[in-house]
Amino acid sequence: MAVRLLQKSIAQVYSNTILNQFGSSANVLPVTPYTISYRNTSFFNKLPADEIWRGVTAVSNAGKKRGRGKGSGKKIAKDLNKGQTIGLGKKNVIWPGLNAPIVRGNDLIRQQKLPECLDREKHIINLRDSMGRFRMMRLSPIDRGWSGTKIPGRSIGPPDTVGEEYDFFDTRVLENKIVFIMKGNMGRKRRYSVLSITGNGNGLGGFATAKAPEVRTALRKSKNRAGQKLMNINLCENRTIFHDFYTGFGKTKIFVCKKPDGYGLICHRAIQTICKVIGIKDLYAKIEGSTNLQHIVKAFFIGLLQQKSYQNISDVTNFHIVEYQKEKNGFTEIKAIPHSTSKIPNKNHVIDLAQYVLEKRNVLRKKAIPTFYLHSKGHNLFVTKQERFRNHETVRLYKSLHGK
């Protein structure tokens, strides 16, 4: 059919050009407009509608096995064709041959306008509404995790009470992923692996991974397992770590710095979550190398547990340990005095404490790269032009405050 159509159209184009060349219009027949289809095959004319529709909304069986199409359960698109048939529309008209038979008994049915059907529109809208709308899962901003409605970063409550009570505990998910194993009889088997951390915000913390075929079960298992693996972590001034330290696990290397009150947590989101759960409030951490989540967690915990107390460092090195407090205008507070005072070295060569606790590692501090336009002709001009406005903002603020 399609081939014939094409032949016809070519023949017509050909005859048109010939006629135009000869310039005579007397013998020309009127040309009716044709829709010309150049693509002969496409899935639109090969597949039935329901199959095309399924292709848009569903996932293939193989895809499903690989974990694709997680959103297939949700209604993404609406079938607007539902409730509409060809020949029936806004205007209630009888078209013989289209929506009515041509002959009924002995009568020939004519095209006829009927009174408008008011319910039709309402019926279609009702149909569309009943299909359900695609809606994002609403989460209170406080309950949100690291990203959208994903589980990592979200709180899943304290571990279940088994023998001991977990008052003031909170558990947060750090990782939630699908893992596969091969089974002898079932082949590739899919499970969910969840890594979560629990803690009381006051120095107690524990983490665990658990796997289960269901997300919910995996979450519960890992939460309860984390509750069984609590570790005590000493906090300095109940808010930070005792000293800077380096720690690593696998290819993950972490440099952690002690920070003053009010600094906050400037680090990887996983470390942030761990700190919040344990009760650390001020800290800076820089990860070098791999950011494998399980390795980050393990490395950070190892680092926290391997911190040395001031007294310990002082006893080993035989130096006094003092804190120079800038917020107290340079007040020097003694933090530890070596156990045996006789051994205190009298030489004035003192090792650097930062070097000591970082095990002779030097942290690479990169210089900020200046912007490319700095000292360019245009920028210099801009700076000179701006100079006379440099104090305006403060003056305006002052005036708005003092009304002068």
Partner 1 sequence: MSFLRYLRKINTQLQLPTRLERQFSNAGTKSAILQYEKDPQPQFTDTETQRLLQSMTQMQLDKVFRKRTVPDNDNEIKFMTTEQLENEFVKMIEKAKHQLQMPPVVKVKQDTERIISKDPALKDFQNTKFVFTDITYGLRQSDRKVVVRDVDGTLSYAPLETQKRMNQLYFPLKGRTFHTPRMFSEQEYLQRCLDDHKYEFVLDRLTVQYEPYELDFHQISAQVFQHLNESKEFDQLRSTRHFGPMAFFYAWHHCIDDLLYDMIRRDYLQNAVELIALSYKLHNVPVEFRKTISELDALQPTPEKRALNQLLSSLKSKEEHEGIQQEIQTAIGKAESDFAADEISLKFIEAYIASEHALKKVQLELAVQTLKEINLEKLQLYHGLKKAHGMHAS
Residue whose structure tokens are 């040395």: 308
What span, in angstroms and rounded, lies between the C-alpha atoms of 229 and 265? 24
Site residues (CB under 8 A) for partner 1, limited to 293-332:
317, 319-332
Nearer to partner 1, 154 or 259 (CB): 259
Contact 94, 44 (CB under 8 A): no
What span, in angstroms and rounded, lies between the C-alpha atoms of 241 and 275? 10
Pick the piece of the chain touching partner 1 (CB under 8 A) from 138-146, 170-178, 339-347, 385-393: 339-347
Pick the piece of the chain touching partner 1 (CB under 8 A) from 51-59, 189-197, 253-261, 384-392: 253-261
Provide the residue type at 5 as one letter.
L
CB of 310 to partner 1, least distance (A): 8
Nearer to partner 1, 44 or 324 (CB): 324
Four-CA torsion 168, 270, 210, 233, nearest 10 degrees: -50
Pick the piece of the chain touching partner 1 (CB under 8 A) from 67-75, 193-201, 215-223, 258-266: 258-266
Binding of residue 253 to partner 1 (CB under 8 A): no
Options 221, 243, 281, 295; binder of partner 1; rule CB under 8 A: 243
SS (H, E, C) 96-145: ECCCECCEECCEECCCEECCCCCHHHHHHHHHHHHCCCCCCCCCCCCCCC
Pick the piece of the chain touching partner 1 (CB under 8 A) from 45-53, 170-178, 186-194, 257-265: 257-265
Instruction: For the chain, give the number of residues.
Output: 404
List all residues 6 or more positions away from 208 whose beta carbon is below 8 Å from its beta carbon: 195, 196, 222, 225, 226, 228, 229
Nearer to partner 1, 32 or 400 (CB): 400
Binding of residue 262 to partner 1 (CB under 8 A): yes
Nearer to partner 1, 22 or 324 (CB): 324
Q: How many residues bind partner 1 (CB under 8 A)?
A: 38
Nearer to partner 1, 89 or 260 (CB): 260
Nearer to partner 1, 109 or 353 (CB): 353
What span, in angstroms and rounded, lies between the C-alpha atoms of 193 and 215? 8
Site residues (CB under 8 A) for partner 1, limited to 349-388:
350-353, 356
What span, in angstroms and rounded, lies between the C-alpha atoms of 169 and 139? 22
Options 260, 373, 379, 382; binder of partner 1; rule CB under 8 A: 260
Tell me the pairing of strands 231-232 and 107-108. Answer: unpaired
CB of 352 to partner 1, least distance (A): 8
Binding of residue 110 to partner 1 (CB under 8 A): no
What span, in angstroms and rounded, lies between the C-alpha atoms of 308 and 234? 10
List of residues contacting partner 1 (CB under 8 A): 243, 258-262, 317, 319-332, 334-335, 337, 339, 341, 344-348, 350-353, 356, 402, 404
